[in-house]
Amino acid sequence: MGLVGIRVYGGAGEIGGNKILISTKGTRVFLDFGTSFSAKRRFYGGFIKAKRFRVLEEYTLTGILPNLPGIYREDLLGGLNHLKADEPFVEACIITHAHLDHCGHASFLRPDVKLYAGATATVLLEAREETKTSREPEDQIVQMKDYRDGRVYRRRIETFSTGKRLRIGDINAIPVHVDHSTPSSYGLVLELDEACIAYTGDFRLHGPMHKMTEEFIDRISAEGVDVLIIEGTRINDPSIHSEENVMLSMMSSLRDARGKAAVALIGLLDFDRLKSLISAAEHVGRELVLSPKLAYVIDRLAKRATNIRVPELRSKVLSVYLEPSSSGGYDPEKDYRGWLKKFLGECMDTGVSLVTPEELARQKDKYVFTLCQTEDLPELVSIRPEPGSIFLFSSSEPHNEEQEIEREKVVNWLELLGMRPVHIHASGHASQNEVIGTIERVSPRTIIPVHTEHPKMFQELLGRQGVKSKVVEPALSREIAV
């Protein structure tokens, strides 16, 4: 074993699920601890779900989670004595951004494993948790429940912004912002006594905040990186579509839908896409009606004074959808519960416009009904869009069979209602040329491709460019010595 070891427990030969363990003589740190949706899909789905009391036993058996002692919550370990330990096996986990394939399974980490995350990313994690109907262990990154005594407590998360030095044992970690399809995304520079390691997280160079990624690349180029752990989601895809092109395409599609209903599906955390949709709607004289969940996330960000500018819910171009309760009523006091009851009450108190499905149905060409999850599609039944109305697909591209099935359900609804699908998207991930160009600029000694189904393409493409960096294709849990 070398003085520094790298083990990839998730993200090797798959898109997402990143769990990268960095080990030195005295310190162990995870870079991300995401949900591997491809691993889960092999054993679970539909009615097949893990039992709460043995979720760790099932997930470690199936390889969804690594079989490592001293990292998991004690209240979920049950009889897994080989995984119990008095002291944590790792000191910390650094979350690069709030997408679940990078942070989702941090919910299983024991509370004395310290979590680090961007300040805005932490607000996003909290808001997403608050709006979930499920409260299983898998949904508890921030607010946790100890199933032994029922105690609910908040996990300690230390927040950071770009450039802040995180001293974790003998590892000096420096987060530097990058552009991705969610705010508060970071790459990491790890300064060790023996080596310098850089980790891109998820990044792109064609987005509206591409200068942030340029700053990260400049930083790691100047550092002189020994090992570059780099994402390669689109290493097989040279195409580039900018956010400006997305906005122009949306505007054109909305103009074509004059006199008819317009619905858009965007990612919950993709605020660049939301801004593009707002601009396109303004240009054609429409207002956005936001799903309550999306509006709630915007509201939480605005109130927590993060360093991101979010749309003002009380503006003339935004309204919030007054979703009927399960009984069909609209009274915030009687018909809603939890976060939704509180949020709708705040909207009424502060003058935020609320729009019912009946209003959407009456004035179809006045609004763009904006959804952030496919579960909301049945709401279209109340709106009754006429044939020829448009549906803007503008969430992430499907990367696996499960996402294809989800997309198929959307298409089935649209065909049923006679709506016209229009796919408009710009990826949150670097294109082939952006990935290879980044490696050329940084010129690391060793490259470890993660978050990709095509790791072998790295050697082939770099060879064509005459890049001499050594490509080490990670095998799950096998140590790469530095």
**Residue where a domain terminates, one of 423, 443, 473:** 423
The Cα–Cα gap between 338 and 158 comes to 27
Which of 329, 425, 416 minimizes the C-alpha distance to 377? 416
Q: Would you place residue 308 in the very low, low, confident or very high pLDDT band (cuts 50, 70, 90)? A: confident
pLDDT in tens, 193-202: 989 999 999 9
**Residue where a domain terminates, one of 379, 397, 423:** 423
pLDDT in tens, 377-408: 999 999 999 999 999 999 865 444 455 557 88
Coil/strand/helix, residue 266: strand
pLDDT at residue 399 in the model = 43
* Same-domain pairing of 456 and 334: no
pLDDT in tens, 315-359: 999 999 999 988 888 887 889 999 999 999 999 999 999 999 999
* Same-domain pairing of 403 and 461: no
pLDDT in tens, 97-122: 999 999 999 999 999 999 999 999 99
* Same-domain pairing of 171 and 155: yes
Coil/strand/helix, residue 223: helix
Cβ atoms of 229 and 450 within 8 Å: the answer is yes
Higher-pLDDT residue of 246 and 1 is 246
Q: Is the pLDDT at 309 greater than 90, yes or no?
A: no
Sheet holding 367-371, edge to edge: 354-355, 318-321, 287-290, 367-371, 262-266, 390-394, 420-423
Mean pLDDT of 158-185: 97
Domain CATH code at residue 351? 3.40.50.10710
Average pLDDT of the chain? Answer: 94
Domain CATH code at residue 176? 3.60.15.10
**Residue where a domain terminates, one of 423, 443, 471:** 423
* Same-domain pairing of 32 and 125: yes
Alpha carbon distances (Å) from 94 to 2, 55, 106, 244, 473: 23, 24, 10, 32, 23
* Same-domain pairing of 91 and 220: yes
* Same-domain pairing of 320 and 256: yes
* Same-domain pairing of 133 and 267: no
* Same-domain pairing of 250 and 227: no
pLDDT at residue 305 in the model = 67
User: In angstroms, how far is CA 300 from the centroid of its own chain?
Assistant: 17
Q: Is the pLDDT at 81 greater than 50, yes or no?
A: yes
- Structural domain including 407 reads 243-423
Cβ atoms of 445 and 218 within 8 Å: the answer is no
Phi-psi domain of 92 (left: phi exceeds 0; alpha: psi -120 through 50; beta: other): beta
* Same-domain pairing of 279 and 416: yes
CB atoms inside a 10 Å sphere around CB 342:
14
Mean pLDDT of 26-32: 97
Q: Would you place residue 59 in the very low, low, confident or very high pLDDT band (cuts 50, 70, 90)? A: very high
pLDDT at residue 134 in the model = 81
* Same-domain pairing of 197 and 328: no
Q: In total, how many domains does the chain have?
A: 2
Which of 378, 380, 462 minimizes the C-alpha distance to 419? 380
* Same-domain pairing of 401 and 439: no
pTM over 0.85: yes
* Same-domain pairing of 282 and 165: no
pLDDT at residue 408 in the model = 86
Mean pLDDT of 255-270: 95
Q: Is the pLDDT at 135 greater than 90, yes or no?
A: no
